[in-house]
Amino acid sequence: MRLVFLGPPGIGKGTQAKILCQRITIPHLSTGDMLRDVISTKSDLGKEARTYMDRGRLVPDDVILGMVEERLQQPDTHGGYLFDGFPRTLPQADGLNELLSQINQNLDTVVALEGEDEILSERLSNRRTCGSCGAITNLLNSPSREEGKCDQCSGELIQRDDDQPNVIRERLKVYKRQTEPLIAYYAERDQLIRINGVGTIEEVTARILENLPKEE
Ligand code: AMP
């Protein structure tokens, strides 16, 4: 299955993407995670990407499309994958179509997770991410057993730099301006399913699973 997860920051894309990828055994391709990996290498590309991410802006399309093209050459993607946080602009969506047609692939479904702005800011400001394994927790609805420590690997839970209030506001604005138009783009192509992203983690997972096309 080849999937895209679309939705505003804070809707739970990453959390749901990780669960679904485990359930249906496909790789989780998060461009945000790929960028954070590049940043950790302290390369010039990483330094450049960081200047955009720290301000809540989008990293340029050519950088993202180059990273995705390289990732799609890895053999683990041949049986399917889930893109989380990509595409985020119309040129990225067109670029993805082109990349896929070059390798004779199609997307099966684009899942749009939806929710109100107030919920998103609240979730983002309470989000903590494990610095070691990347697990995501939320101080309000899924706090870790021991404060500040990841339940899965005991790594330190940190607040992402771009989860600070002023950056959150910018990320929501950027989503509306640059990414939301993709909902109409994929609806026109009959590739979209819309899912209410508000509820417990289990409720939202169940909604997604119910609505995914059944594999033949
Ligand atoms: P995420 O982890 O998906 O919330 O992404 C964190 C940040 O990485 C975003 O706010 C952007 O600055 C950058 N980013 C991630 N994916 C993309 C993308 N597809 N296009 C442009 N920038 C991206």
Percent of the chain clearing pLDDT 70 (strictly above): 99
Residue 44 inside a domain? The answer is no
Residue 216, pLDDT > 60, answer no
Which domain range does residue 126 map to?
A: 2-26+79-211
Residue 73 inside a domain? The answer is no
Q: Which of 2, 160, 169, 194 is catalytic?
A: 160
Residue 65 inside a domain? The answer is no
Per-residue pLDDT of 105-156, as tens digits, reads: 999 999 999 999 888 988 889 999 999 998 889 998 889 999 999 999 999 9
Alpha helices in 143-193, H assignment, sequence order: 165-174, 181-188
Q: Which of 13, 50, 123, 207 is catalytic?
A: 13
Q: Whose CA is nearest to atom 2 of ligand 1?
A: 32
**Residue written as token pair 């899924």:** 142
Written as one string, the DSSP assignment of 118-147 is HHHHHHHHTEEEETTT--EEETTTB--SST
Percent of the chain clearing pLDDT 90 (strictly above): 86
Q: Which of 50, 127, 128, 207 is catalytic?
A: 127
CA distance 60 to 57: 9
The strand pairing partners of 30, in sequence order, are 84
Identify the burial level of 85 via C-beta atoms within 10 angstroms of its C-beta, where 0-12 means exposed, 13-18 middle and 19 or more buried.
buried
Q: What is the average per-residue pLDDT within 19-45? A: 94
Amino acid at 155: G
Residue 50 inside a domain? The answer is no
What integer pLDDT is reported at residue 149 of this predicted model?
96
Specify whether 171 is catalytic: yes
Residue 210, pLDDT > 90, answer yes
Residue 4, pLDDT > 90, answer yes
What integer pLDDT is reported at residue 215 of this predicted model?
67
**Residue written as token pair 């609240």:** 122
Residue 182 inside a domain? The answer is yes
Per-residue pLDDT of 56-99, as tens digits, reads: 999 999 999 999 999 999 999 999 999 999 999 999 999 999 99
Residue 142 inside a domain? The answer is yes
Q: What is the average per-residue pLDDT within 182-209? A: 96
Residue 178 inside a domain? The answer is yes
Q: What is the average per-residue pLDDT within 50-56? A: 93
Tokens of 28: 């989780």
What integer pLDDT is reported at residue 173 of this predicted model?
95
Specify whether 13 is catalytic: yes
Average pLDDT of the chain, as a whole number: 94
Probe target for ligand 1 pocket from 88, 170, 173, 174, with the most ligand atoms within 8 Å of CB: 88
Domains of the chain: total:
1
Model's pTM, two decimal places? 0.89
CATH number at residue 157: 3.40.50.300
